[in-house]
Amino acid sequence: MQNLIDVLNVYDSITLKEMEAEMLMQRFDLKFKFQINQLPFFLEKVASNYHVLEVGNNRLHKYESLYFDSEKFLLYQQHQNVRRNRYKVRYRRYADSDLTFFEIKLKTNKNITFKERILQDNIEYLINDDTGKFISEKTKMDPKIFSPKLWVYYSRITLVNKNADERITIDISTVFKMVGNTASLSFPPLVVAEIKQSKYFRSPFIAVMRENHIRESDISKYCMGIALMQENIKKNNFKHTILSINKLCHEQN
């Protein structure tokens, strides 16, 4: 971990306020997964091209997400059944900046992601008046069908391209915990990098992925957590991803 921190300290920093113009709430997404021991090398290769987000002298930030779904996991099933125009509904707490948002993500049939959010005081297990109205307006679904299903904890590095409209999030130390269950599941060797662009171009980070034979991966932390931890649920379309993650983690060990 110290090697990773040392590499991050080489980067020019950007503040949360400065990054607000690069939030990319409407974007194209590409994801890659690889082993944690590869990350310092990849970060070194692109250090001159990106700023790194710094909050409170930290460049590695803790996140907490609580995902909501229906009793029969409607939103998970939309992804499992490869339905376009699918949603995710969640609270997200940015621990280092002490900010909490209720967020709705829409992935369209044109492979564009829209994210909208409202500021909240805390993460709540119940849908309140504000979040219920937000769900109704943005999804046209009944907010009463939603309840909390899955906690996801991780640490994130955020890079902002110095010369283009691009942001990269790099998530490590992911932990899943089902609501109502004390058991948790973690993947210490796993890194999930997501490239977010207003329009697609082959960025320096993508070029490094290609040069090192890291393939694009369709991976959702919420769907992966549900597929791994929820019994008696269909997961055919996630089996390849789960197998590849298990293989990656086993090779790391």
Q: Tell me the domain boundaries of the chain.
A: 2-252
Query: Do 120 and 133 meet the contact criterion of CB atoms below 8 Å apart?
Result: no
Write out pLDDT tens, residues 150-199. Answer: 999 999 999 999 998 899 999 999 999 999 988 899 999 999 999 999 88
Confidence at residue 27, expressed as pLDDT on a 0 to 100 scale: 73
Q: Which of these, 55, 38, 41, lies nearest to 10 by C-alpha position?
A: 41
What per-residue confidence (pLDDT) applies to 109? Answer: 77
Task: Read off the pLDDT band of 133 (50, 70, 90).
Answer: very high
18-77 pLDDT tens trace: 887 656 566 788 999 999 999 999 999 999 999 999 998 899 999 999 999 999 999 999
Confidence of residue 252 (pLDDT cuts 50, 70, 90): low
Query: Quick one: pLDDT at residue 21?
Result: 63
Nearest CA to 139 among 220, 92, 219, 74? 74
Cβ atoms 162, 51 nearer than 8 A: yes
Give one word for 215, left, alpha or beta, with left for phi > 0 and alpha for psi -120 to 50: beta
Topology, domain 2-252: Hypothetical Protein Pfu-838710-001 (2.40.320)
Contact indicator for 13, 102 with CB cutoff of 8 Å: no
Q: Enter the pTM of the model.
A: 0.93
